[in-house]
């Protein structure tokens, strides 16, 4: 079995720490580190267990991790990874200086993505994902998430506008 990929405590899978996916991530980080659960995570877990027993449904549904309108954990994780890589690509381009706004940054990153998608991605899409941190490697990894990499300035602006992902405490 390959070594377990450790989660970073510095960024969250969702934009709110009360989101079920963020709570699950905090549970995983605490369990992986052998730390006690934060009270809100423990309460969420207990409430979900009680709801599953009472309603007879599955635990993932009772915890709010599946069901109508819920993205799968895999989709949420891939989206966060893709968005994180796009923010890193924008930072690599030096696009987050004091004079930049999200719209201008998104427009410049958009051109890089379109160029990469047209000229580079078709040649490397079947290769192992890159591991470096230069612009091409960051875009390569974003494309390898399996999700569509946005090319509209509006979508990129939303991603880059929320570049400060919330931090959370494990306990």
Closest CA relative to residue 152, chosen from 164, 144, 160: 160
* Same domain flag for 80 and 146: yes
- How far apart are alpha carbons 124 and 128 in whole angstroms? 8
pLDDT digit string (tens) for 18-57?
788 889 888 999 999 999 999 999 999 999 999 999 999 8
pLDDT at residue 102, as a whole number: 64
* Same domain flag for 107 and 149: yes
The answer to whether residue 18 is domain-embedded is: yes
* Same domain flag for 139 and 113: yes
* Same domain flag for 57 and 93: no
For 79-121, the DSSP string reads HHHHHHHHHHHHHHTT--STT--HHHHHHHHHHHHHHHHHHTH
Residues of the domain holding 28: 7-70
> Residue with structure tokens 């940054």?
105
Identify the segments of the chain with pLDDT beneath 50: 1-15, 164-171
* Same domain flag for 29 and 102: no
Number of domains observed in the structure of the chain: 2
* Same domain flag for 41 and 64: yes
* Same domain flag for 30 and 82: no
Do 74 and 85 touch, CB atoms closer than 8 A? no
The answer to whether residue 33 is domain-embedded is: yes
The answer to whether residue 169 is domain-embedded is: no
The answer to whether residue 170 is domain-embedded is: no
The set of residues, in sequence order, having a beta carbon less than 8 Å from that of 151 and lying 6+ positions away, is: 110, 113, 114, 117
Query: What global pTM score does this model have?
Result: 0.70
The answer to whether residue 1 is domain-embedded is: no
End-of-domain residue from the set 26, 44, 70 = 70
The answer to whether residue 110 is domain-embedded is: yes
* Same domain flag for 13 and 24: yes
End-of-domain residue from the set 53, 70, 87 = 70
The three-point CA angle 56-61-64 to 5° equals 135
């Amino acid at each position: 079995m390959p070594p377990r990929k450790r989660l970073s405590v510095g960024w969250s899978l969702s934009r709110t720490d009360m989101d079920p996916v963020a709570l699950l991530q905090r549970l995983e980080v605490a369990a992986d580190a052998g730390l006690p659960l934060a009270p809100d995570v423990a309460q969420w877990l207990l409430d979900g267990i009680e709801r599953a027993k009472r309603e007879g449904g599955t635990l993932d549904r009772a915890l709010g991790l599946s069901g109508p309108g819920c993205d799968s954990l895999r989709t949420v994780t891939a989206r966060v990874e893709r968005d994180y890589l796009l923010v890193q690509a924008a930072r690599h381009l030096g696009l987050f200086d004091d004079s930049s706004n999200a719209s201008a940054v998104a427009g410049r990153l958009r051109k890089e993505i379109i160029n990469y998608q047209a000229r580079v991605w078709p040649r490397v899409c079947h290769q192992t994902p890159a591991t470096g941190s230069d612009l091409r490697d960051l875009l390569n990894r974003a494309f390898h998430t399996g999700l569509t990499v946005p090319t509209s300035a509006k979508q990129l602006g939303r991603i880059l506008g929320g570049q400060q992902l919330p931090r959370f405490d494990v306990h």
